[in-house]
Amino acid sequence: MTIAQGPSARTISTDPDWWRQAGVYQIYPRSFTDADGDGLGDIAGITSRVPYLASLHIDAVWLSPFYPSPLADGGYDVADYRNVDHRLGTLADFDALVDALHASGIRMIIDIVPNHSSHLHPWFQEALAAAPGSAARERYIFRDGVGPGAAQPPSAWGSNFGGPAWTRVPDGQWYLHLFAKEQPDFNWDNREIQEDFLTTLRFWSDRGVDGFRVDVANSLVKDLSEPFRASIDRVLGGDLPIDGSDPLYDRDDVHAVFERWREVLNEYDPPRSAVAEAWVPRERRLLYARPTELGQAFNFDLLLAGWNPREFHDVITSNLNDAAATGASSTWVLSNHDVVRHATRYGLPGGADHNAWLLGSDAAILEDREIGLRRARAATLLVLALPGSAYLYQGEELGLSEVAELDDHVLQDPTWERTGHQEKGRDGCRVPLPWTRGGESFGFGPDGSHLPQPDWFGELSVEAQDGVYGSTLELYRAALRARAQLKSNEELDWQGRDTEGILHFSRPGGWHCVTNFSPEPVDLPAGVVVVCSGPLQKGLLPTDTTAWMLQ
């Protein structure tokens, strides 16, 4: 297979603000490329694909957790924060990957998971062996139970993955875990925890890592005063209050943690970047993104919006206003490893229950792959024209749909078991990538893949799309390449046609981006079409299509 190369070798930019308008590509390492044939993707596999990554014209890779982990939650259960899972490689392999990316002009952002460790982390094992009230237990959140025999959990708090947020240990105490029971929550009032994460930030920054994606940044600090107050029920998708009053999520005091982190990140030249994953109301999100804290926070508003010009317009306007008011830069996300892929979402009926579709429990919910992909391409092209950073998820550049046909017995997401098989979970967007039309695991690796790939992956493979005019892969390449010219500043001007089902905005330098959400083809503004998410119809922009124009 030949991989189209960029125009010339790129070098890392010296711009300290490189992250403000970056194109960032998320790699879920166990599902990217398997070099050693154990069915799990690895670091050497990623390194072998650096030419492919360079051909995408991205600015940075965001690498999901690659740390030693028993994989109770896809690696978000970390047993050692300053090492590489031996199934994925070694620290030397990691260094080689960073060097190869940098040599191709690509920065490296890594995931850091501070809310909880794995239950196999030495500190949690030490806590289990230690007595109630010991210093070892103080690193986590242990409490006595309530009721007769203290046999009831200390509070009714629920885990994000279903079931209770407390698990009992043999001596009768309970520990808190906002996710799976294999992910005990750290006690962030503990100085040792606070200091250890600073050591981890320095450890990876010293190795040349350029930035950090901070997992569940909004839950580190908790109000653990007793009696415990009720928290919102995440299992039922409750909305957080906007005043920081929930005992578990989005507490005001969490910002002191990130102010300290920013001081450490600023010890480096250029300062290391950071982006918060914080599922909080918009008004609160911008607090995490302040320049004195992380600089960016993921904005999931478009990911939650329907295919609707009014919603897109409002989300874009409000987020750009927020960024302008605080000095942060906006972020845009359509897909990641936690949600149904956007090529599928846009192909389901508006407002459809994704989980019911995945379970096949509602026969009325049908996926239209053609519409889904057309809209996904249009949405991506729109997002790539916006000021701010675009976070892309591996496989979306191939137009992959969600893999719904995973049998129950192959599911890995802890959500499946913890909800008593009520929620199928996130495995359908984590199926290993197809690199070739056929062959062993569609080129993912020499000996199988840890989640089964469907037959239709072949026609969406890199091999099937590479160099093919009009393919989704070539669309991403063209757009990411042209996007470099949009970055001279962070301005956007609406051109006022949004009420007709058309979103039209301009960027400096004569760039225009037009998306047609309406059912009929529409005129394009004057200018030259530079990139288009689908073919024009007699010079008109068809429905569900975006064009970039240069005037």
Active site residues: 215, 267
To the nearest 10°, report the CA torsion of 92, 98, 100, 104: 180
> How wide is the angle at C-alpha 41 spanned by C-alphas 39 and 44, nearest 5°?
125
Decide whether 76 or 157 has the Cβ nearer to ligand GLC: 76
- Of the residues 126, 138, 314, 338, which one makes contact with ligand GLC according to CB under 6 A: 338
Cβ 440 to ligand GLC, closest distance in Å?
28
Question: Using CB atoms within 10 A of its CB, is residue 208 exposed (0-12), middle (13-18) or buried (19+)?
Answer: middle
Q: Is the peptide bond before 227 cis (omega within 30 degrees of 0)?
A: yes
Decide whether 179 or 505 has the Cβ nearer to ligand GLC: 179
- Type of residue found at 500: E
Place of tokens 């740390």: 67
The answer to whether 435 touches 508, Cβ cutoff 8 Å, is no
Choose among 407, 431, 413, 451: nearest CA to 180.
Answer: 413
x/- letters, 239..278, toward ligand GLC (CB under 6 A): --------------------------------------x-
Q: Where are the alpha helices (DSSP H) in 275-339?
A: 282-288, 301-304, 309-326
- Of the residues 34, 85, 185, 215, which one makes contact with ligand GLC according to CB under 6 A: 215
Question: For residue 131, what is the DSSP state?
Answer: P
Choose among 445, 366, 334, 391: nearest CA to 44.
Answer: 445
Decide whether 123 or 268 has the Cβ nearer to ligand GLC: 123
Residue nearest ligand GLC (C-beta atom): 76
Cβ 213 to ligand GLC, closest distance in Å?
9
Decide whether 277 or 427 has the Cβ nearer to ligand GLC: 277
Decide whether 73 or 498 has the Cβ nearer to ligand GLC: 73
* Residues 431-460: b if buried by 16+ CB within 10 A, e if exposed: bbbbbbbeeebbbbbeebbbbebbeebbeb
Q: Answer yes or no whether residue 76 interacts with ligand GLC by CB under 6 A.
A: yes
Cβ 179 to ligand GLC, closest distance in Å?
5
- Of the residues 216, 294, 316, 333, which one makes contact with ligand GLC according to CB under 6 A: 216
CA dist 19 and 265 (Å) reads 14
Place of tokens 């892929």: 341
Q: Answer yes or no whether residue 24 interacts with ligand GLC by CB under 6 A.
A: no
The answer to whether 22 touches 59, Cβ cutoff 8 Å, is yes
Cβ 479 to ligand GLC, closest distance in Å?
25
The answer to whether 304 touches 342, Cβ cutoff 8 Å, is no
Place of tokens 């960032």: 24
- Type of residue found at 384: L
CA dist 410 and 277 (Å) reads 28
Q: Answer yes or no whether residue 423 interacts with ligand GLC by CB under 6 A.
A: no
Cβ 211 to ligand GLC, closest distance in Å?
16
Cβ 289 to ligand GLC, closest distance in Å?
17
Decide whether 67 or 435 has the Cβ nearer to ligand GLC: 67
Of residues 171 through 190, those in contact with ligand GLC by CB under 6 A are 179
Give the interface size with ligand GLC as a residue count (CB under 6 A).
9
Cβ 47 to ligand GLC, closest distance in Å?
24
Decide whether 35 or 216 has the Cβ nearer to ligand GLC: 216
Decide whether 18 or 140 has the Cβ nearer to ligand GLC: 140
Residues 6+ apart with CB under 8 A from 142: 127, 132, 169, 173, 174, 175
Q: Counting every residue, how long is the chain?
A: 551
Provide the 3-class DSSP secondary structure of residue 532. Answer: strand
- Of the residues 59, 73, 250, 498, which one makes contact with ligand GLC according to CB under 6 A: 73
x/- letters, 81..120, toward ligand GLC (CB under 6 A): --------------------------------x-------
CA dist 491 and 330 (Å) reads 12
Cβ 239 to ligand GLC, closest distance in Å?
17
Enumerate binding residues for ligand GLC (CB under 6 A): 73, 76, 113, 179, 215-216, 277, 337-338
